[in-house]
Amino acid sequence: MGAKSIIRLRMSSHDAHYGGNLVDGARMLQLFGDVATELLIINDGDEGLFKAYDNVEFMAPVFAGDYIEAEGEIVSVGNTSRKMVFEARKVIAPRTDISDSAADVLAEPVVVCRASGTCVVPKKCQRKGE
């Protein structure tokens, strides 16, 4: 399909939900929602609505201070539905073992979450392809 979106941001102490500064997995789904919204705007000129995830896999922990890159792509387009796939990767990790402000760019990003789902854009809201 071609339409892709990527966002990158740092997980803050406000994102940490569990002991050891562990970030709740739901935060990755929130990022995927933001990516999906951008994809729908690119594809349809409308934010649309997220209908459902059909698969979510949490693959590695995320901690406050990690930089996460979330990417999504539209893989099929129906009359009103848009099937999407998502991947979140850790690209920078803090190195608190060295100092409070040390961090490393990871040589290889670590996949922390993958998901797929369906969004819908009502026909009356679709502004592209007219």
Assign 129 a pLDDT band (cuts: 50, 70, 90).
low
Question: Would you say residue 118 has pLDDT above 60?
Answer: yes
* Domains, the chain: 4-125 (3.10.129.10)
Q: Which of 28, 2, 11, 113 is nearest to 66 (CA)?
A: 11
Q: What angle do CA 8, 51, 1 make, to 5 degrees?
A: 60
Can you give the pLDDT at residue 128? 77
Q: In angstroms, rounded to a whole number, what is the distance separating the alpha carbons of residues 77 and 3?
A: 11
pLDDT in tens, 55-100: 999 999 999 999 999 999 999 999 999 999 999 999 999 998 999 8
Can you give the pLDDT at residue 17? 85
Assign 1 a pLDDT band (cuts: 50, 70, 90).
low
Mean pLDDT for 87-115 is: 96
Percentage of the chain lying above the pLDDT 70 cut: 97
Higher pLDDT, 67 or 19: 67
Rounded to two decimals, the pTM is 0.91
